[in-house]
Amino acid sequence: MADHTLQNKVVLIAGGAKNLGGLLARDLARNGAQAVAIHYNSDATRSAAEETAREVKALGAEAELFQGDLTHPANVTRLFDEAKTRFGRLDIAVNTVGMVLKKPMLEISEAEYDRMFDINAKSAFFFLKEAGRTLDDHGKIVTLVTSLLGAFTPFYSTYAGAKAPVEHFTRAAAQEFGERGISVTAVGPGPMDTPFFYGQEGEDAVAYHKSAAALSAFSKTGLTDIEDVVPLIRHLVTEGWWMTGQTILTNGGYTTK
């Protein structure tokens, strides 16, 4: 029987220190999660992770920090094993890890190609694998992709290209884990109003993206507000079991399945 609540649920969020991941950690705690395992990648984000953990605890949930470079599968395994040991169970796993590269194909090096696929595709595959291994029955898994998978856009070949396999990983995981009642979905936000977006874009591109979506005028900056993405993910990890295997694209406040 599906359990449409966050009460007594233990959540693991990869990339949970700040931006979308940090906001999601606080939101799920506010809405009843028992505990949140907050993953962060490096010392550069440790202070943000610690602040998120403090806020999660202030909201009444337990919180624990876990550091690791998830491009190494052994670190993904360790993340899930240590989180499950700490809290006794895992019910929900959300992967927000990603990296953008905006660059013409003719200028992309082999090292850049490998790094993009390591961060966006390889880490997502092993995240799904370990979530399927360790989550309790009737668990929920959500991965983040990109609305560029539905676009015809230059200069994002390795970013969108490395996120595209995650759609297929999601479908396979939904089929393979479904017999245990585990749902697996992917969310593809449009350009989000976070430092993750602005680091890759020039002024002209920022101006374009802020006006490109039909509902741009109704968001704070014209970009996708992360505050609008969080309720969607919350729905998927509570009520959204029937959407398993799907990718949901969002852009500037517009959502389509």
Domain that includes residue 14, residue range = 10-256
- In this structure, is residue 4 part of a structural domain? no
Mean pLDDT value across residues 98-106: 92
- pLDDT at site 229: 83
Task: With a cut of 50, say whether residue 252 has pLDDT above it.
Answer: no
pLDDT interval class at 256 (50, 70, 90): very low
Could you tell me if residue 5 is inside a domain? no
- Does the pLDDT of residue 138 top 70, yes or no? yes
User: Is 99 contained in some domain?
Assistant: yes
In a domain, 1, yes or no: no
Tell which wins on pLDDT, 21 or 198: 21
Q: pLDDT-based confidence at 221, cuts 50/70/90? A: low
151 in any annotated domain: yes
pLDDT at 146: 84
Q: What is the CATH number of the domain that holds 244?
A: 3.40.50.720
Q: Whole-angstrom Cα distance, residue 54 to residue 74?
A: 28
Mean pLDDT in residue range 169-186 = 94
Q: Which of 14, 12, 4 is nearest to 144 (CA)?
A: 14
Q: Does pLDDT of 102 surpass 60?
A: yes
- Structural domain includes residue 2: no
Q: Over 80: is that where the pLDDT of 110 sits? A: yes
Q: Which of 171, 116, 163, 118 is nearest to 144 (CA)?
A: 163
Interval 49-63 mean pLDDT: 98
pLDDT value of position 206: 52
Percent of the chain with pLDDT over 70: 78
Specify the long-range contacts of residues 47-56, CB closer than 8 Å, at least 24 apart.
Answer: 48/17, 48/18, 48/22, 49/16, 49/17, 49/18, 49/22, 52/16, 52/17, 52/18, 52/22, 52/25, 52/26, 55/26, 55/29, 56/25, 56/26, 56/29
Q: Which pLDDT score, from 0 to 100, does residue 158 have?
A: 94
Q: Is residue 188 part of a domain?
A: yes
Instruction: Using pLDDT thresholds of 50, 70 and 90, give the confidence band for residue 1.
Output: very low
153 compared with 28, residue with greater pLDDT: 28
pLDDT score at 53: 98
| Mean pLDDT value across the chain | 86
The mean pLDDT value for 81-104 works out to 96
What pLDDT shows up at residue 257? 38
Looking at residue 153, its pLDDT comes to: 77
> Mean pLDDT lowest for which of 45-49, 91-95, 215-219?
215-219
In this prediction the pTM is 0.87
Closest CA to 9 of 139, 142, 177: 139
Choose between 180 and 148: higher pLDDT: 180
Q: Which residue has better confidence, 44 or 194? A: 44
CA atoms of 255 and 257, how far apart (whole Å): 7
pLDDT band of residue 240 (cuts 50, 70, 90) is low
Please check whether residue 85 lies inside any domain of the structure. yes
* Torsion sign across C-alpha atoms 2, 7, 13, 18: positive
Euclidean distance between CA atoms 254 and 231, whole angstroms: 14
Number of domains in the chain: 1
